[in-house]
Structure 1
């Protein structure tokens, strides 16, 4: 009976059989004398869980931050901005119509832009004044839907302005108040240029959720902006002769027509990443010399810095999982030393070296799997509720976490990427498995005679 026991045991111990799973599971469960080792294993699980959860949360927040910035920037700025090489740009409507016929173009908007000083009831601030027609504003859903006070109806006829909610708070303005716009480039006189000072009623207060636009831009109808910045010229009407010296003012006005200019146009594409493929078609369709700059070149430094930061953060935070994996090594080494007698008995009963190695590999991998799974669940919960948690912690501590003045966004965005989460899980499980190989190999090398000599 005793002579045949090893043979029966060896016959039943194939790779990952019930016998090996039972022994590995027994080593995972704590007994009174193994409490210290079990505590180390539990701390190792917690370390892996925290590392995996931190990686998922940080990568999700950085994905959301990039996507939110990209959607805000491209929601108000075109994928291409085209500036005229010549000084005047009076045929911008014709250029818009031609470029809109290019396949892959969603829309084209023209705008007038200039720097000015805005003054409200209490403060003043430097602003960018941008003139746009309601037809073009309707092509920007992010701006068109962002009105929190007032509306864009009759935008071209009312002659007022639209300001961001942060600018309204800074200048102490609300709907219907007058905002004074001061530009240094005014009327030329024999004594120099006089400032251009005009007041406009606030017809719209918007909130696009991006600090740069909510606190820096003033929108006004394009005709009002062209008049304010004096972007027009008077030219003789077709078929009309030059008025003589004795012509009246009425005759002079009838002989000339006012031609308005735009600063530039912006082109919105169906595929934001296809700028290089379509640029030549846009230049041909423009029908005049223009300088086209795509959004990738305009924001190359910014988004490159974000990408570098994502990679560096991933590498740094991966160290948490790596440290936890080293804890698996230490806990398994201690477990192997503690179970030296058990290993010797199993070997004398017929268990192979490969079977012993698989038992301890399963024990260590189970620790890594449980920690990884717990970290996966914790990371998903935190990533999905990142903004709610941020707001709750801010209220609890009474401090502003991720202030919008620094991070440019009014809320903490988060987007869970399935591919990145999979990479994190595979990395954590892979490190956990690799950490088990050396202790398991050492256990398999135990000589039963030497191990039982002092038992």
Structure 2
């Protein structure tokens, strides 16, 4: 089968056993370094994608996508919900209230955000019902002042269903200090666990109890919570709904409370990707060193080829083929191993935790209590393309040096 001369000779040089074993060693390390760089980038970016996906599904499944609140407490939240449901992006609209305070139990205290919810409607906008580990969300009854707390809070205070605790809420008053604490006794009716930081910072009560604690009238709520089809459209959708309702309404969305976290994660993924790309760049520079030594070792062969009629362009392409083959093999090996590792990294970490008996990712420390991985084909293609491009660019200078060799100078001492 016909093959162009540069490809034929370049492939022969790649397969041939060189007299200089050091050149072969450098060529092998270049290939291994490129493979390790590609593998590391695929695994790390897949894990970061997994973390971002878990954060989106867990945290954004718990916090409101958007809320519509009035300047005054909403007397008829149903009309606001009906107006919101006219927007095609809105899936559900339910009553909602927010309070911030301190939980107190036997002298121990911790800050807490308390959401007032309707247990019958909450499943439409939240995943909380899927993560109840003790009790039931339906046990939140109006007037009984029940509370559902996170698993970390329950473990920290050693609380179980049926225990009572106190919540301290700041209240504006005419006292000299301007703010006085208001205490309310609550009964633990449930415990949830989503495996994220919310297990220690969030609690739920009935929306009617929240209204009473906020000194609202019966039937009033603070706001309407929205669930959206595309949560990344929350700022635009909530603002449009508030504008349609009038100037007495204001919109809020998850980007105001959680947006900085997701922006930081996106920036972190970009920066780590660039840093890992340096590993690939170092391997590409090793290809330059390999080809420069090969050119010096094959000076006589290059001169003979030139005397037989090979053009400088053909000589240049010979070594470009050789360097590209090294880069292609290293990239393919790294890509295959990286895909396999990314698909099994969660199982490997789970096995290590089981063998060691230690939890590597504790929810007390990390937002997510496991090591998720989300392999995306776009990332794999982008990483492999970047590695191949760098390895190809690394062949240009040594190949150009080979094309500049003069036959008479190379054969003078042969």
Query: Which segment is superposed worse, 122-131 or 140-149?
Result: 122-131
Provide the secondary structure at the position in 2 that maps to 1:48. helix
Whether 2:78 is the aligned partner of 1:93: answer yes
Which of 279, 282, 289 is the equivalent residue of 1:330? 289
C-alpha change, 1:230 and 1:408, in structure 2 (3 Å) is same
C-alpha change, 1:82 and 1:279, in structure 2 (3 Å) is closer
Which of 66, 69, 73 is the equivalent residue of 2:52? 66
Q: Please give the residue correspondences for 1:144-223 in structure 2 after superposition, counting only pairs within 5 Å.
A: 144-156=129-141, 159-185=145-171, 196-211=182-197, 213-223=198-208
Shift of 1:288: 6.7
- 1:272 aligns to what? 231
Which blocks of at least 5 consecutive residues in structure 1 are unaligned?
Answer: 1-11, 233-258
Which of 359, 367, 374 is the equivalent residue of 1:415? 374
| Distance in 2 between residues matched to 1:446 and 1:188, nearest whole Å | 92
Query: Which segment is superposed worse, 51-60 or 177-186?
Result: 177-186
Shift of 1:390: 4.1
- 2:116 aligns to what? 131
Shift of 1:169: 0.6
Q: For residues 91-121 of structure 1, what are the alpha-carbon distances to aligned partners after superposition, in whole Å with 9 as ceiling and x for unaligned?
A: 2233223322333211112222222332346
TM-score by length of 2: 0.87
- 1:358 aligns to what? 317
Q: Please give the residue correspondences for 1:31-50 in structure 2 after superposition, counting only pairs within 5 Å.
A: 31=17, 33-50=19-36
- 1:105 aligns to what? 90
Shift of 1:148: 1.6
Q: For residues 35-78 of structure 1, what are the alpha-carbon distances to aligned partners after superposition, in whole Å with 9 as ceiling and x for unaligned?
A: 21111011111111122122222322222333332333321223
Which of 90, 105, 127 is the equivalent residue of 1:142? 127
| Distance in 1 between residues matched to 2:172 and 2:260, nearest whole Å | 35
Q: How many pairs are equivalent? A: 413
Query: Which segment is superposed worse, 361-370 or 310-319?
Result: 310-319
- 2:391 aligns to what? 432
Provide the secondary structure at the position in 2 that maps to 1:108. strand
Whether the aligned pair in 2 keeps the contact of 1:63 and 1:415 (CA below 8 Å) is: yes
Whether the aligned pair in 1 keeps the contact of 2:67 and 2:238 (CA below 8 Å) is: no
- 2:220 aligns to what? 261
Shift of 1:417: 2.4
Query: Which segment is superposed worse, 261-270 or 214-223?
Result: 261-270
- 2:274 aligns to what? 315
CA-atom RMSD in angstroms: 3.2
C-alpha change, 1:103 and 1:161, in structure 2 (3 Å) is same
Which of 213, 236, 240 is the equivalent residue of 1:228? 213
Which of 4, 17, 24 is the equivalent residue of 2:10? 24
Q: For residues 287-331 of structure 1, what are the alpha-carbon distances to aligned partners after superposition, in whole Å with 9 as ceiling and x for unaligned?
A: 671111233354443333333333322222222111111110110
